[in-house]
């Protein structure tokens, strides 16, 4: 039975209501609630955002001089041909080392916004964990790609790619936005973040685009696991629980009630 004109109009009205409701919920989840947290907590809720922004500015200013560039490289420069222990040691600092061929101020704006929204929504510990894990996922995957070599249906990379500098803070920014979009159910932010990364990897097929895609995938997995207590971390948390089950030794012992005592009769000689 063909659709009538009224059926199409009702379907269009439902679609408009769905889009309006989705945009309203996403606006409250991504903008309104973090703004309320900022009003409640003040500038103390933006500590990570300020540290990340000033860290990028600091390392960018140092890297403008030849000696400073070598210093920044030895502190936070990560490439796929480095030893694994050295890459792991430099990865936390690489979050503040921007790419020298990209506009730094646009990157700082995105970095500050990503860390600010994540810190106000997720807290400092989870924000740092997501930023580090997504960055580390991109770095480790790049090592695997270079180790495999050319081929492997386009997954492997030639050895000379191993000397290219890591993405730096951009992978953390992509990971934080994706994680927020999954946790807060924000399809618009998810589409803009993931879609831009897919377009970047297609338009400019380089190592950075692949690492960004890996960061998006890692953030999706972390977002889907949000709120679920895994068996091993739960058992570890129970083992590390230091809540005392008995009073400290310095306190006097607490008497425990025992069975009632009856007086024993005593015999006295006259």
pLDDT at 100: 61
Q: Is the distance from CB of 201 to CB of 210 less than 8 angstroms?
A: yes
Q: Is the distance from CB of 28 to CB of 36 less than 8 angstroms?
A: no
pLDDT at 102: 60
pLDDT at 118: 92
Give the Å distances, CA to CA, from 136 to 116, 168, 175, 239: 21, 10, 11, 28
Residue 163's contacts (CB-CB under 8 Å, 6 or more residues apart) are: 79, 80, 81
Q: Is the distance from CB of 180 to CB of 118 less than 8 angstroms?
A: yes
Is the pTM above the cut of 0.95?
no
pLDDT at 182: 92
pLDDT at 109: 86
Extract the residue ranges of the chain whose pLDDT is less than 70: 1-7, 99-104, 152, 154, 227-270
pLDDT at 246: 43
pLDDT at 217: 92
Please list the alpha-helical segments (H only) found in the chain: 5-27, 33-41, 47-62, 66-76, 84-94, 104-122, 124-148, 169-183, 187-203, 207-224, 231-239
- Rounded CA-CA distance 216/129 in Å is 15
Instruction: Give pLDDT tens digits for 172-230.
Output: 899 999 999 999 888 888 888 888 888 877 777 778 788 888 999 999 999 888 766 55
- Rounded CA-CA distance 193/186 in Å is 11
């Amino acid at each position: 039975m063909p659709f009538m004109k009224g059926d199409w109009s009702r379907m269009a009205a439902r679609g408009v209501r769905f889009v309006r409701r989705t945009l309203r919920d996403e606006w409250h989840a991504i903008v309104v609630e973090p703004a309320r947290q900022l009003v409640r907590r003040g500038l103390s809720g933006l500590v990570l955002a300020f540290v990340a922004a000033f860290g990028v500015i600091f390392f960018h200013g140092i890297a403008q001089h030849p000696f400073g560039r070598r210093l920044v490289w030895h502190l936070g420069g990560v490439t796929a041909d480095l030893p694994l222990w050295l890459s792991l040691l430099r990865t936390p600092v690489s979050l503040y080392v921007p790419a020298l061929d990209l506009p730094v101020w646009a990157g700082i704006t995105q970095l500050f916004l990503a860390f600010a929204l994540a810190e106000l929504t997720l807290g400092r510990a989870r924000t740092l964990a997501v930023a580090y894990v997504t960055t580390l996922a991109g770095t480790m995957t790049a090592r695997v790609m270079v180790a495999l070599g050319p081929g492997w249906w386009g997954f492997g990379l030639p050895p000379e790619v191993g000397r290219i500098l890591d993405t730096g803070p951009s992978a953390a920014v992509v990971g934080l936005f994706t994680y927020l979009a999954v946790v807060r159910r924000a399809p618009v932010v998810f589409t803009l973040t993931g879609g831009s990364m897919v377009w970047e990897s297609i338009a400019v097929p380089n190592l950075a685009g692949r690492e960004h895609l890996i960061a998006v995938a890692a953030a999706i997995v972390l977002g889907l696991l949000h709120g679920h207590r895994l068996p091993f971390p739960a058992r570890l948390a129970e083992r590390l629980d230091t809540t005392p089950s008995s009073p400290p030794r310095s306190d006097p012992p607490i008497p425990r009630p025992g069975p009632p005592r009856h007086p024993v009769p005593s015999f006295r000689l006259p």
